[in-house]
Structure 1
Amino acid sequence: MSYAIIGFGKIGQALAKAFARKGIEVFVATTRDPESFAADAAAIGPKVTAKTLAEAVKADVIFLAVRYESHRDVAKALPSWDGKTVIDAMNLFPVPEELEGIPSSAVVAKAFNGAKLVKGFNHLAAATLAADPVVEGGHRVVFLSSDDEDAIGPVAALAKQLGFAPIKLGKLNEGGALVHARGRTWGKLIFQDLFKKEQ
C-alpha cells in the first residue's frame, strides 16, 4: 500500500508526523512546487517525501487535508479515482446553507468519482493529532465513517498501524453525522480527545 497526504498545513503536517513516528513512507503534496516545502517535509522524517500533486495521487490511499473549498481542484488531478481510497480529514465550518442536511463528505465523495471515501482523522485538533497516540495505557481514538462498508476496514487497519484506536461510526449520514458540522454547530464528537484502554 502506498500513502499520500494532500495538504501540508497543520493537519497535513500532523498526519505526516503520525506516519514518521511509525517509519511508514508517505508522500506529501500541495498545489505548490514541492521544492517549496521539501525541507519541511524532510524535517518531519526521512520517509516523508514532498511530491507534485500529479505524483502524489498515484498512491493507493490519499488523505485530504486541504481547505474544503480546494477539494474539487484536487479531484481534477485524476479523471477517475477507481481503486483509490480517499480519507476526508477536512472540516467545513460554518456549513453553507446549500449543504444543510447533507454531510460535507457526501459532496466530497461525488467529486472523487470512483473512490472509496472514508471520513476520518478530522475530529482531533492538529496538535493532538500530531502527538503520540499512545497515552495513559490506551490509544487515542479516531472515528471513521463511510457509505462504503468495504472501505472502513483497511482504513481502520491503517489507523491501528499508526497507533490509534479506530471506532467505526457507520454511514456518513448516520453515525458519521457526529463528526460533521451542521450550520454553525460542530458535531458532538468534534475535538473530543478520547482514549481506548487495552482490553
Structure 2
Amino acid sequence: MSYSIIGFGAVGQALARAFARKNIDVTVASRRPPETLIQQARAIGPTVVPRTLQEAIASDTIFLAVPFWEHREVAKQIATWQGKTIIDTTNAYGVAVADLDGLPSSAVVAKAFAGARFVKGFNHLPAAVLAADPNVNGGSRVVFLSSDDETAVAPVAALAEQLGFAPVALGPLKDGGLLVQAKGNSWAQLIFKDLVKFR
C-alpha cells in the first residue's frame, strides 16, 4: 500500500509527522516543485519523500490537505480515481454556504473525485494537535471518519490505528460529515474536540 499527502502546509506537515513517527513511507507534494519541500521534509523524517503532484497521485491512498477550493485542481489531474482512496482533510471555513449547493463540504469534494473511495477524516483537530504524538496518558487521540462507502472506512480506520490514533466512524457524509465541517463562518459540533480513547 502506498500513501501520499497532497498539500504540505500545516495540516500536510502534521500528517507527515504521524507517518514519520511510525517509520512509514509517505510521498508529499504541493503546487511547489518537490525540491522546495526537501528541507521541511527532511526536518520531519527520512520516510517523508517530496515528489511531483503526478507521482503523489499514483499512490493508493491519498490525503487531501489543500485549501478547500484547490481540491478541484487536484481532481482534474486524472479522469477517474477508480481504485484509489481519498481522505479529505479539508475545511470549508469562510466558504459561503450558498457555494456548497446545500451539501456538506465533504460531499462537494467527493463529487469531484469520480470513482474514488472517499473518506472524510483527520480534519477536526488544529494542525498543532494533529502533529503531536497521539499517545496521550496511555490513551489514543481520536480521529473521526465519515463516508458514504462503508467498505472504504475500515482500511482508513486501520491506517489511523497504525499511525497511533483511535478512529471513530460517524456514518455517512450527510450525518457524520456535517458533524466535522465548517459552514460559512461557523464550525460544527465536533470540530476542535480533542478526545482521547482508552482501551
Task: Tell me whether the two structures share a fold, i.e. TM-score over 0.5.
Answer: yes
2:46 counterpart residue number: 46
2:160 counterpart letter in structure 1: A
Which amino acid in structure 2 is aligned with residue 31 of structure 1?
A: R
Structure 1 ranges of 4+ moved more than 4 A: none
Question: Equivalents in 1 of 2:123, 2:181: separation in Å?
Answer: 9
Match of 1:104 in 2: 105
Q: Does 1:24 align with 2:24?
A: yes
Pairing of 1:7-156 with structure 2 (within 5 A)? 7-96=7-96, 97-99=98-100, 101-156=102-157
In the alignment, residue 170 of structure 1 is paired with which amino acid? G
Q: Is the 8 A contact 1:3 1:26 kept in 2?
A: yes
Distance 2:102 2:73 in 1: 24
Compute the TM-score of the two structures, normalised by the length of structure 1: 0.97
The one-letter amino acid paired with 2:84 is K
Gaps of 5+ in 1: none
What secondary structure does 1:109 align onto? helix
Code of the aligned partner of 1:12: G
1:54-84 CA deviation, whole Å, 9 max, x = no partner?
Answer: 0010000000000011111111111110000
Q: Deviations over 1:91-145 (max 9, x none)?
A: 1112312326311111111111110110000001001000000001210000000
More deviation, 143-152/180-189: 180-189
Using the alignment, how far apart are the partners of 2:175 and 2:65 within structure 1? 23
How high is the TM-score relative to the length of structure 2? 0.97
CA distance in 2, matches of 1:98, 1:31: 24
Deviates more, 1:181-190 or 1:163-172: 181-190
Distance in 2 separating the partners of 1:136 and 1:187: 27
CA distance in structure 1 between the aligned counterparts of 2:93 and 2:56, rounded to whole angstroms: 27
The aligned residue for residue 173 of structure 2 is 172
> Unaligned stretches of 5+ in structure 2?
none
Q: Deviations over 1:155-196 (max 9, x none)?
A: 000000000000000000112211012332201000110000
Contact 2:41 2:50 in 1 (8 A): yes
Map of 1:193 onto structure 2: 194
Question: 1:68 & 1:108 partners in 2: Cα distance?
Answer: 8
Alpha carbons 1:100, 1:183 under 8 Å: kept: no
Contact 2:92/2:183 (<8 A) preserved: no
Aligned residues of 1:101 and 1:182 also touching (Cα < 8 A): no
Q: What letter corresponds to residue 125 of structure 1 in structure 2?
A: P
